[in-house]
Homo-oligomer: A and B are copies of this chain.
Amino acid sequence: MKIGVLTSGGDAPGMNAAIRAAVRQADSLGHEAWGIYRGYQGLLDGDMEPLPSRACANILQRGGTMLRTARCKAFHDPDVRAKAAEKLKAAGIEALVVIGGDGSFRAAETLLREHGVACAGIPGTIDNDLPGTDRTLGFDTALNTAVEAIDRIRDTASSHGRLFLVEVMGRASGMLAVHTAIACGAEAVLYPESPDDSYEALVTQLEENWKRGKRSSIVVVAEGDAVGGRAMAVGERLKRDHELDLRVVVLGHVQRGGSPSALDRIWGSRWGSEAVRRLDRGERGFYLGEVAGALVAQPLSRILEPQPVPPGDLGRLVAVLAR
């Protein structure tokens, strides 16, 4: 069997681990892996070639994706998807391993439903915002990168007795922001799902810290925060209302790359291997995840459900630990 592998959407550390594992597992089971470049766009362009095991040497430790990636809006058009299915048939590729986020999985779901292409999804996004899995590739690396960056900012905050607002990624999810806040010992965190994510609560918290003798503070702001506005806006308002000597840092794309953490390499390896083993056994439409510590598979259609709101426990812990 020929198995195509592609990465789609935003790149995430650990994608290369999944590619390597899928290719080598395919090899060990007697299948032929094909690399499809630049996601669904490359599939449409026929930008693909056989990917032998040795071509995946020395990629495990690299960020980004050796197959490159792209967003492909054209894929919303059913005619375009039909063309993609034909390309696969012409190349003799019977199954796809799709590494990406919710948009990439929805495209895979339509390929399966409309054209019977067997598809295995591997969650690859630093946002950790997919239903049916507690973890996505890249989240642990992005978390550690954000924490390391804020450790550096903490040096300056402490030296100057100054307030910093630090904006982290995460799209509409506060997962990255809340985990970052706990791990860097932030004094407060603003995130979309928070019930008390308000400007007033933040001001109260900062005033209490000041009374406790804290002269410097780090506030983590999720890029998707709706109530307070993004970090720049919150900073402007605090400066205006309270004449605070504060600085705003937007971590931005620094969080997206870098050598993957051990966890992201391990889960990328496990998922890449498992995806191919299930395709080999004849399974046709699923994506992998981790639930309660175990490697699980969900039907591809599960991606159409909304991601449940993360529990606010961790968010509340931030205030307790910031004393």
Contacts and interface: CB of A to CB of B under 8 A. Distances in A.
A170 to B, nearest CB: 14
B69 A159 contact: yes
A258 B152 contact: yes
Interface string A256-294: 111101110110011001000000000000000011111
Given A61-B151, A64-B158, A158-B64, A182 B54 contact: no
A152 B145 contact: yes
Interface size, A (range): 35 or more
Nearest to A38: B161
A149 B256 CA distance: 10
A11 interface: yes
A302 interface: no
A21 B158 contact: no
A89 interface: no
Contacts of A38: 161
Nearest to A58: B158
A65 interface: yes
Interface stretch (A23-31, A78-86, A195-203, A221-229): A23-31
A155 B11 contact: yes
A322 B53 CA distance: 9
Contacts of A61: 151, 154, 184-185
A254 B257 contact: no
A152 B317 contact: no
A87 interface: no
Contacts of A230: none
Contacts of A307: none
Contacts of A269: 182-183, 317, 321
A212 to B, nearest CB: 7
Interface of A: 7, 10-11, 13, 20-21, 24-25, 27-28, 38, 53-54, 57-58, 60-65, 68-70, 134, 140, 143-145, 147, 149, 151-156, 158-161, 164, 179-180, 182-185, 212-214, 247, 249-259, 261-263, 265-266, 269-270, 273, 290-294, 314, 317, 320-323
Given A63-B152, A182-B266, 19 more contacts: A11-B155, A25-B321, A38-B161, A58-B154, A60-B185, A64-B154, A64-B155, A64-B158, A155-B256, A156-B257, A164-B253, A182-B270, A183-B266, A247-B253, A251-B254, A270-B317, A291-B293, A292-B292, A292-B294
